[in-house]
A and B are shown apart, each in its own frame.
Chain A
Amino acid sequence: MRYSGFRVIKEALTGHKGWTPAWRDPEPKPQYDIVIIGGGGHGLATAHYLASVYAQANVAVLEKGWIGGGNVGRNTTIIRSNYLLDGNEPFYEMSLKLWEGLEQDLNYNAMISQRGIMNLIHSDAQRDAFIRRGNAMILNGADAEYLDLPAIKREYPFLNFDDARFPIKGGLAQRRGGTVRHDAVAWGYARAADGRGVDIIQNCEVTGFRIENGVCKGVETSRGFIGAGKVGCAVAGSSGRLMAKADMRLPIESHVLQAFVSEGLKPVLPGVITFGAGHFYVSQSDKGGLVFGGDIDGYNSYAQRGNLPVVEDVCEGGMAIMPMIGRARLLRMWGGIMDMSMDGSPIIDRTHIEGLYFNGGWCYGGFKATPASGMCFAHLLARDAPHPNATAYRFDRFQTGHMIDEKGMGNQPNLH
């Protein structure tokens, strides 16, 4: 069924009888060409592009619970491509371009809102680093804009310019950055993939891989064995848990990242703002809630919940940079499992097991990467070669010393 304004009107006038399920609820087939583990943003996007770009129709997505229940349903909805390193920037810029055409591609309004993202600068060293980054973005074909203090004051008059412990000195803006209605991304990809024949199978937990002399033949699941020519894993925070079933140790730790939303408020913020001298970034949803977050709690966790110190740390940052939010009330706090890699950058690669492919280690970058991750993983699965924009995301880069370390924090995941 095609969605449109006319359709909405027609259904309204005929009692909404005509709306059909956004995706089918099929029984798993015994064998697929490609099975994707993980019904999150990346898995569903991979399925969509496999079907729509790489002409792979015999595909299933297996989801342990309900689709979109992982990080795609619990992030802070930001999209941007303001990366520094050549291993990352072309990939994230490709992602941003895919976001820009996503709604038409999916016939689903994910409320992609390119209202800009602003990284505030508080020291000379930070300015040097951000100018280097802005240049890298432009040299990679993305947009970036350096704003001096007067410009920041004009655009963000509500920031703390009076008694800031770390005064604002400028900012690096990416005007094409913004936010997306996160749940809609999962639903839109699911609906589009389903429309092209992909089986989306919920409540189907993968309990093991069937590996015969070095070749992956399929997966054991809570709904029986499902054979597959190729198996792609895209389970983000559960990567460690899942790949252990294939006896793999990964350059990844799972950490908890908390996010927060305030009560609904009339429009306050023009776009995404990130505080450069503390751990705080914020945007405002279409519903009016301030959606904000900061750093991961910092310890390994699969619990999907965090603790007070980080809540306080984030709010301290918020009050330091925009004290006008003080009387807005924090409504809800939740946690997601971040697959923090050893250099802060992801992995999209084959494993040493033939027919078994891996996509993970997204750290904070997972949501904004969703379309490109899906496209590149689909490319790898369909062509058995890395997508040109994802050639650096190899498993062996840590062995060979080709890390992609945006923050320069080294092999300590909780610092990325």
Chain B
Amino acid sequence: MIINHPLLGPRDSSEFVYLGDASLINRPDPDAEDRAQSFYEYGYLRINPAGMHRELWFHEAGDRSWLVVTRDTTTHEITSVEMARDVARAQGRSK
């Protein structure tokens, strides 16, 4: 596969390491009352869609950026690639 890196352009996916669903960015609040449940769901439950999937790839053999790739799991077509750090900030993550 080819991942169109936002900074570097098209790169072979073999340069990347796959982690999984981009929901892994949304680490729950560790102080919340329901943290046991929310961390269980965060850690273990997946939508696992047959279709568009937002997922995390690490450019290990490249610039060491984490990317959020939107890819169709039935065709492997990739429709968007974002810097994970920007996505995380946009979703309100900070420190």
Contact = CB atoms under 8 A, between A and B. Distances in A.
Given A251-B44, A399-B40, A302 B20 contact: no
A413 B20 contact: yes
A254 B45 contact: no
Given A249-B45, A254-B48, A301 B40 contact: no
Contacts of B43: 342, 398, 411
B76 A250 contact: no
A240 B48 contact: yes
A265 B37 CA distance: 55
Given A240-B49, A254-B73, A309 B55 contact: no
B46 interface: yes
Contacts of B21: 253, 300
Contact of A300 (B14, B37, B73): B73
Given A307-B1, A414-B18, A253 B46 contact: yes
- Interface size on A, as a range, is 20 to 34
B90 interface: no
Interface in A243-300: 244, 249-254, 298-300
Majority DSSP secondary structure for residues of B touching A: mixed
Interface string A373-416: 00000000000000000000000001100000000000111100
A171 to B, nearest CB: 30
B13 interface: yes
Contact of B45 (A250, A300, A301, A309): A250
B50 to A, nearest CB: 5
A7 to B, nearest CB: 44
A241 B49 CA distance: 7
Interface residues of B, number: 26
Contacts of A85: none
Interface in A221-259: 238, 240-241, 244, 249-254
Given A253-B20, A414-B20, A301 B76 contact: yes
Q: Which of B12, B21, B53, B76 has the most CB of A within 10 A?
A: B76
A91 to B, nearest CB: 21
Contacts of B73: 254, 300-303
B20 A412 contact: yes
A401 to B, nearest CB: 9
B51 to A, nearest CB: 8
Contacts of A303: 73-76
A258 B30 CA distance: 39
Contacts of A249: 41, 45-48
Interface string B19-51: 111000000000000000100110111111110
A309 B46 contact: no
Nearest to B55: A300
A240 B45 contact: no
Nearest to A242: B50
Contacts of B46: 240, 249-253
Nearest to A251: B44
A300 B48 CA distance: 8
A251 B49 CA distance: 13
Contacts of B47: 240, 244, 249
B48 A250 contact: yes
Nearest to B57: A299
A307 B78 CA distance: 15
Query: Sorted from nearest, which 5 A-B pairs have the closest CB atoms?
Result: A240-B48, A309-B14, A398-B44, A249-B45, A251-B44
5 contacts: A240-B50, A249-B46, A254-B73, A300-B73, A399-B44
Interface of B: 1, 12-14, 18-21, 37, 40-41, 43-50, 53, 55, 71, 73-76
Given A302-B74, A342-B43, 20 more contacts: A240-B48, A241-B50, A249-B47, A251-B46, A253-B21, A299-B18, A299-B71, A300-B20, A300-B48, A300-B53, A300-B73, A301-B73, A301-B76, A307-B1, A398-B43, A399-B44, A411-B43, A412-B20, A413-B20, A414-B20
